[in-house]
Amino acid sequence: MTPFAWALLGFVLGAALGAAVVWMVIQRAARKVRGQIVNRHHLGEILAPLRAAVVVVSEADFVLAASAFARKLGMARGSSLYPAEVSDLLADARKSKRTMECDLRLVGASGEPMQLAVRAVPLSNGAAVIVGEDRSEDLRFSETRRDFVANISHELKTPIGAIGLLAEAADSAAGDPEAVHLFLGKLTKETRRLNELVSQIIALSRLQAVDPLLDAHEVEVTQVMEAAVARCAEIAEAGSISISVQAEPDLIVIGDAEELETAVTNLVQNAVAYSEPGARVAVTSGLADDGRVEIRVSDNGIGISTEDQKRIFERFFRVNADRSRASGGTGLGLSIVKHVAVAHGGEVTVWSRVGRGSTFTLRLPQSIEGGSE
Ligand code: ADP
């Protein structure tokens, strides 16, 4: 052979060897990738961090891998699938060879009711995937709405019923001016209550519909405090309660002045309503260590037990319904305060001791431009 032929043969053999090596490397890599996909351990690692409850089962319904959430809910225990509803759903899906869905109610890790939307998906190799998405938040939302509607109906029916009865009573006492006067006085009181309730319900729905930060302005905290105290002057005077204001100057927050005023007014109204005649209410402001603006409303009134403190921000929750109604309360005041605080990027907290008094603190982010730093 000529040197050229030797060179050509060498080149061809070298190229063939090189191609074979590349092919082997690719095959090895592909095998590795395939191995990773089917490897149970790796599958478990992929599923573990998922927020949904995901379980992969073999052809014989043995659990191959499950997300941590699925294990927490007890849908995968060892290699068994639970509860029976899920196994039945999977059997239906396998039989019909298509994805099947159902809603499942379970008890969460800390005993809370949970609602899952579950799908069973048969795979072409005989295995199957079960996916459960947490719908508990939707469930809680619709329950809260249902309770709210039921509570509103109840709260509205009471004054409306009373107004009807009082009007009839006034009519039948037509010959007795003193009785008529008495009934009309009560009628006015119930009408005021109804008016207050309707206004609060409207305020709450308006708050829910509009984000105050979408059309926000700089709001002077001192003005909010003074306006709120002015709104409560009449009821404070009627209860012989003095209100003092101590405001740190130049504190500015971003938001809706009207909403903030309503929130502080509700706190001051409560401080007055749940104090004995002659008591003192203090409204103060300042900067917290974390740079947020604090508006504090303190009273030395009846106070709230630790147990009740957990519920007072719920709509229509009252510690003592009679005392609340007697002072014109609707049970919505603090839920409005909480809503305003959260919508402004802040929070409201309470400190209280029964018989010693309460301090409600509204914390709001400070406006950087207007801040006193
Ligand atoms: P209400 O219209 O009944 O005052 P709120 O939502 O404003 O409704 O308050 C819920 C409940 O929290 C009240 O019924 C009352 O029992 C309690 N509460 C609120 N503020 C105070 C306070 N400053 N001192 C004692 N109890 C309070």
pLDDT the model gives residue 23: 63
pLDDT, the chain, mean: 88
Cα 318 to ligand 1 centre (Å): 6
Region of 238 on the Ramachandran plot (φ > 0 left; ψ -120 to 50 alpha; else beta): alpha
At residue 8 the predicted structure's pLDDT band, cuts being 50, 70 and 90, is: low
User: Does the CB atom of residue 302 touch ligand 1 within 6 A?
Assistant: yes
CATH topology of domain 136-209: Helix Hairpins (1.10.287)
pLDDT the model gives residue 371: 45
User: Does the CB atom of residue 334 touch ligand 1 within 6 A?
Assistant: yes
pLDDT the model gives residue 211: 86
Q: Which CATH architecture has domain 213-373?
A: 2-Layer Sandwich (3.30)
- Residue whose Cα lies nearest atom 23 of ligand 1: it is 271
Nearest atom in ligand 1 to 319's CA:
16
User: Does the CB atom of residue 331 touch ligand 1 within 6 A?
Assistant: yes
Cα angle 291, 296, 297 (rounded to 5 degrees) comes to 170
Nearest atom in ligand 1 to 318's CA:
14
- Residue whose Cα lies nearest atom 18 of ligand 1: it is 270
Over residues 275-296, mean pLDDT: 96
pLDDT, tens digit, 9 for 90 and up, residues 108-147:
777 778 889 999 999 998 999 999 998 888 887 787 778 8
pLDDT, tens digit, 9 for 90 and up, residues 229-279:
999 999 999 999 999 999 999 999 999 999 999 999 999 999 999 999 999
- Residue whose Cα lies nearest atom 4 of ligand 1: it is 329
pLDDT the model gives residue 366: 92
At residue 21 the predicted structure's pLDDT band, cuts being 50, 70 and 90, is: low
Cα 272 to ligand 1 centre (Å): 10
High-pLDDT (> 70) share of the chain, %: 90
User: Does the CB atom of residue 367 touch ligand 1 within 6 A?
Assistant: no
Cα 270 to ligand 1 centre (Å): 6
pLDDT the model gives residue 22: 59
Q: Taking the domains of the chain in order of start, what are their residue ranges?
A: 40-134, 136-209, 213-373
What CATH number belongs to 40-134?
A: 3.30.450.20
- Residue whose Cα lies nearest atom 12 of ligand 1: it is 312
User: pLDDT at residue 372 above 70?
Assistant: no
